[in-house]
Amino acid sequence: MTTSQAGHCLECPCTSEDVLDGLTVNYTPRGWTGCNDFVLQVLNNDACHAETYKGGLRCCEHGEYCLERSALPENGPISTFYLRYTITYSELRPENRALRLAACCDATGDLDRHGNIEYDVPQCDDPVNNPEECIYELTTVQMLHSVGNNGAFGVLPGDKEGGGTSVDVVYTVGHMHRGGIEIEIADEETGEVICLSKPTYGKDQDVVGKEKDYIVSMSTCTFNPPRKMRTSDLVRVTARYDSTKPHTGVMSLFYIAAADPVDDMAVGLNVLGAALTTEAGVIEETSTSESLKIAFVSIGLIAICVLAVKKFGRKDGYSRIEAVNVTV
C-alpha cells in the first residue's frame, strides 16, 4: 500500500461494496439526526445524509475494505498491526479528586443535539490560486453539560431544575483529524476564550509518533486554580479545517475534565497526583499538565469509541472484548 493509499484509508472512505439504502449502512440501522441545522441545512454537509455519505465511522468497521478491490494487488501480503500502550500513574492519596467528563462538546451539535461526531470537509473552490481562503469553519453553542444529551460522556452530575451544578474545570483538549487547523471553546456570555487547542503535525516520514503530515498531538489547557463553572453554562465551539484538500469523517470535539468543587481556601487541590496552587499553600508534586495529558489521552480514546458505539450501534457479529489481567 502506498503512502497516498494509506492516508486515504485512514479517512474511512466508503467503497462500491458498502450498501447505503437511505436508512441503513451495510444493512445496519444508523441514526441521521445528530447534525445541527447549520451543518445540515446551510452547509448541507454530506455526512449528515445517508444519500450523500462518502466515508467515516459508518464505513469503517471490521471486515470492510477501504480501497476498491481493483486497487488491491492480487495475492498481496496480509499485514497485522499491533497497538502498545504505556500507562503512567501515581499512588492514590486522600487529597486526590476524581475527574469526570462533561457532555460537551461537538462542533456538529447544538443545545438540543450532542452532535453527529463526524462531518466532511469539501475541497474549496480554488485551492491553487487562493489557498488562504480555503478554511472550512464550524461554530455552535452547547451547554457545558446537558442532562439527557450526554453522548458518550454524561458523567458529571446534572441539574434538571435548569440552574446547573457547580464544577471545577481543570483540563481541556481538542480532538481533530488531518487537515485540522484549530478548535476553540469560549464563554458564550462574555466571549472569553477558555481554550484554543491546536494540532502539531509530524515532519518525519518513517519515525513512529512523528509521522509526516499527520496530527501527532494537540495543545492542551490546564487551569490552575480550577476554572469555576456551572454545568448549565453556555460555551461556543469553533473549529477550522484546511480545505485545500477534501476530507471525510473528520471530527471537532473538545474533552473537558472537571471535578466536584471544594473550598479552595481550606484545602490544597490535587487532581490525579498533580498539585494545584491555592491561597492556602502549594503542594509540590508532578506536573499538572503532564499528569492530566497522560490520563486524557486514554480517556479521549475511550470516549470516542463509546460515543461511536452508542450512536452507530454494534454491528452483527461483533463480540465484546473480555477483560484481562494487566501486570504493571
Cell of 117: 461526531
CB of 301 closer than 8 Å to CB of 293: no
- How large is the average pLDDT for residues 84-90? 87
pLDDT at position 283, please? 28
Strand partners, 259: 168
pLDDT at position 155, please? 54
pLDDT at position 156, please? 59
Is the pLDDT score of 285 beyond 60? no
Q: For residue 44, how many C-alpha atoms fall within 13 Å in the half-sphere facing its CB? A: 2
Q: Could you tell me the sign of the dihedral formed by the alpha carbons of 115, 118, 122, 123, in that order?
A: positive
pLDDT at position 142, please? 94
Confidence of residue 296 (pLDDT cuts 50, 70, 90): low
pLDDT at position 27, please? 79
- How large is the average pLDDT for residues 183-211? 93
- How large is the average pLDDT for residues 222-248? 95
* pTM (predicted TM-score): 0.79
pLDDT at position 70, please? 86
- How large is the average pLDDT for residues 91-116? 89
In angstroms, the CA 265 to CA 201 distance is 41
pLDDT at position 284, please? 31
The pLDDT > 90 percentage for the chain reads: 42
